[in-house]
Structure 1
Amino acid sequence: MKIVGISGSTLGSKTRTAVEYALAEVKKQYPLHDVTLIDLKEYDIVFSDGRNYWEYEGDTKQVLETIMSADALIIGTPTFQASIPATLKNIFDLLPINGFRDKVVALIATAGSAKHYLMVDQQLKPIISYMKGNLVPTYVFIEEKDFLRKDIINDDVVFRLERLAEDTVLLVEAYQHMREIKDAQYDF
């Protein structure tokens, strides 16, 4: 199973910290799975211009092909102006409309305060659903106060990230099993 974590901003470190924690938990619980982190601040991504994702070159092509080859995505996003950052939205724009079909997508959001906790429900989940992703039902929302010097200090947040990692893998396995049963019904 291939699991890709995405830190969806070119600024800050909290989102990456949270995504890294979830990915480390996947590695710990499921050491045979292929786990990759994409931190958008480490790549030079061009703006979407409507081409097919495989027609891009360089970092853009590498990131898009990594996402498209994944079985599951753990997408982390900071909250900027009560929304997702443009760098993450651009990734969604670069992908095809059904870019998340047959993929499980788990979400992590960081924000300065609890005032933005509905951003995921109102903005991010509709995008993932539109792109045909299978959402992990719960997401992890982390506030500024839950971090200290680039570390997560809230035990409840740690527990929720561990659970998110486990739920992501279990949901991929469940969907794969359902597809196998469905495929076995066909004679060809």
Structure 2
Amino acid sequence: MKIVGISGSIVGSKTKTAMDYLTKEIAEKYPEAEYSLIDLANYNVQFSDGRNYLDYEGDTAFVTKEIMEADAIMIGTPIFQASIPATLKNIFDLLPVNAFRDKVVSILVTAGSSKHYLVAEQQLKPILSYMKAQIVQTYVFIEEKDFLRKKIVNDDVLFRITRLVEDTVFLTETYTKIRQEKEDKYDF
């Protein structure tokens, strides 16, 4: 199983910090999973211009191909001005409409205020649904008060990250098994 994590911003530290906890959880509980974290701050991704994702080169080609080859995607995003960052939206724009078909996608959100908890529901989930993702329904929402000196200090948040990882892996295994059973019914 190939899982790709995306830290969806090029600024700030909270989303990357949370994704590091998620990465550690996957490494400890699911060492057999092939996991990689794409921190968009470390890549020079071009703006989408409508080309097929296979026609891009460099970092843009690497990031889009990694996402397309994944079985599961774990998106970490901050909320800026009551919206997802443009860097994350650009990733979606670079990919084809059916990019997430047969992929499980889970969400981790960091925000400065509890008032932003619906951004995932009203902006991110509709985009992922449109792109045919199998979305893990519960997501992790982490507020500013849950961090101290680049560490998560709320045990409930850590528990929810653990659960998000478990749910993502379990749903990926389940959907893979269902797809395989359907394919095995055909004679060719």
TM tier, smaller? over 0.9
SS at match of 2:80: coil
Counterpart of 1:112?
112
2:135 and 2:27 mapped to 1: Cα distance?
21
Q: Give the Å deviation of 1:129.
A: 0.5
**Residue 180 of structure 1, CA deviation:** 1.1
Question: What residue in structure 2 maps to residue 37 of structure 1?
Answer: 37
Structure 1: which 4+ aligned runs deviate by more than 3 Å? none
| Contact 1:23–1:165 (Cα < 8 Å) also in 2 | no
For residue 22 of structure 1, report the CA deviation from its aligned partner: 1.3
Q: Secondary structure at the match of 1:65?
A: helix
Instruction: Give 1:60's aligned residue.
Output: 60
Query: Does structure 2 conserve the Cα–Cα contact (< 8 Å) formed by 1:109 and 1:141?
Result: yes
Aligned amino acid, residue 163 of structure 1: R
Which residue in 1 is equivalent to 2:95?
Answer: 95
1:139 and 2:171 equivalent?
Answer: no
Are the aligned partners of 1:14 and 1:147 in contact in 2 as well (CA < 8 Å)?
yes
Q: Report the Cα offset of residue 89 of structure 1.
A: 0.2
TM norm structure 2:
0.99
Under a length normalisation based on structure 1, what TM-score does the superposition of the two structures give?
0.99
Query: Residues 28-79 of structure 1, C-alpha deviation per residue, up to 9 Å, x if partnerless?
Result: 1111111100000100011000000010000000000011111101100000
Distance (whole Å) between structure 2 residues aligned to residue 114 and residue 92 of structure 1: 25
Quote the residue 1:169 is aligned against. Answer: 169
**2:78 equivalent to 1:78:** yes
Give the Cα–Cα distance (whole angstroms) in 2 for the partners of residues 44 and 90 of structure 1: 12
Where does the alignment leave 5 or more consecutive residues of structure 1 unmatched? none
Contact residue 5 and residue 73 of structure 1 kept, 8 A: yes
How far apart, CA to CA, are the structure 1 residues paired with 2:130 and 2:70? Answer: 18
What is the RMSD computed on CA atoms of the aligned residues? 0.6
Residue identity opposite 2:98 in structure 1: N
Aligned residue number for residue 129 of structure 1: 129
Q: How many angstroms apart in 2 are the aligned matches of 1:23 and 1:133?
A: 21
Q: Report which stretch shifted further, 14-23 or 1-10.
A: 14-23
Instruction: Using the TM superposition, give the Cα deviation of residue 84 of structure 1 relative to its aligned residue in structure 2, in angstroms.
Output: 0.1
- The separation in 1 between residues aligned to 2:156 and 2:165, in whole angstroms, is 14
Query: Which residue matches 2:13?
Result: 13
- Taking the aligned partners of 1:2 and 1:67, their CA distance within structure 2 comes to 10
d(CA) in 2 for partners of 1:71 and 1:23?
16
Question: In structure 1, what residue type is equivalent to 2:114?
Answer: A
1:33 is matched by which residue type in structure 2? A
